[in-house]
Amino acid sequence: MNLSHSLLLGSFMWCCFTLQANTHDNMNATLWYQSSAEFKASAIQTYQAATLQLPLAIADKSWTALTNQKENYQQLPPAIIVDIDETILDNSPVAAQSVLLNAGYDPKRWDQWVAMAAAKAVPGAVAFVNTAEAAGVKVLYISNRECEKRTGSDDSCPQKADTLRNLKAVGIEKIDASQIWLKSEQPLWSSEKESRRLLAAKDFRILMSIGDDFGDFLPDVKKNITPEKRSTLVDSYQDYWGTKWFVLANPTYGSWQTILEQPNSQYLQSVPTTNN
């Protein structure tokens, strides 16, 4: 093989390797999440806005972020509901791993990651949580991390201790296991979070909800629903966004994506065709 042949072969391999890596469905979303100043700034902006609302929410006893918290809540102690994944903890290394392996989501790899308790914090999250706790507001971590036994252990929810360890490791100062409510920890705790929100509403006045998925705010929005209907719901709760509800950007996964029917290209809204 002469030099020009090897150069040709080299550039062919480079082209195709690059092409393969770039064509993973989650490549751009993961790059944006991990490397953009824009993501970092938007997360800080969200938590900054939440921090500014905090004194108002604490002082106004009629303030609640739960649409169904209507009676006998004014004197309850204040709490905030936060999601964990892609709200407090950044699990994008798992998304990056999938891109590099050219693979999809794998529950086994996910659980190995949870066990490592190595996630970094979403920018702005830790300062916000610590500010809230210092102001006497309990933070409840309602997460769809799933409780599942691991081989060789009787612990029905080893994920809970891992999650607590990770949350402490990123700098959350005041937290214990009772504040972490994981999926399937109790029989009725499904991926629909409404039952856990209702439980929280019994003991606390909920000042804010913070999450990266529409299901962190409202029930019945994660399946059998169209993007149009979800968009209408966003409008119906106009007054909540940025005051009581704070959403973190997550282009890498979420119910925004799983509700779409295939082919998902049908949802692209392109330039109207003309006769010219």
Piece in contact with Mg ion (CB under 5 A), picked from 18-26, 84-92, 127-135, 239-247: 84-92
Our finding on whether 86 is near Mg ion (CB under 5 A) is yes
In angstroms, the CA 123 to CA 102 distance is 28
Site string for Mg ion, 211-240 (x = CB under 5 A): -x----------------------------
Q: Could you tell me the maximum CA-CA distance found in the chain, to the nearest angstrom?
A: 83
What distance lies between CA 240 and its chain's CA centroid? 18
Q: Pick from 85, 138, 166, 201 the residue near Mg ion by CB under 5 A.
A: 85
Q: Is 276 exposed, middle or buried (0-12, 13-18, 19+ CB in 10 A)?
A: exposed
Piece in contact with Mg ion (CB under 5 A), picked from 94-102, 121-129, 204-212, 224-232: 204-212
Shortest separation between residue 258's beta carbon and Mg ion, angstroms: 13
Q: Which CB sits closer to Mg ion, 145 or 244?
A: 145
Roughly how many angstroms between the first and final C-alpha of the chain, as a whole number? 52
Q: Which CB sits closer to Mg ion, 76 or 109?
A: 109
List CB contacts of 175: < 8 A, sequence separation 6 or more: 133, 139, 141, 164, 167, 168
Our finding on whether 162 is near Mg ion (CB under 5 A) is no
Our finding on whether 90 is near Mg ion (CB under 5 A) is no
Q: Which one-letter DSSP state was computed for residue 273?
A: P
Q: What residues make contact with Mg ion under the rule CB under 5 A? A: 83, 85-86, 212
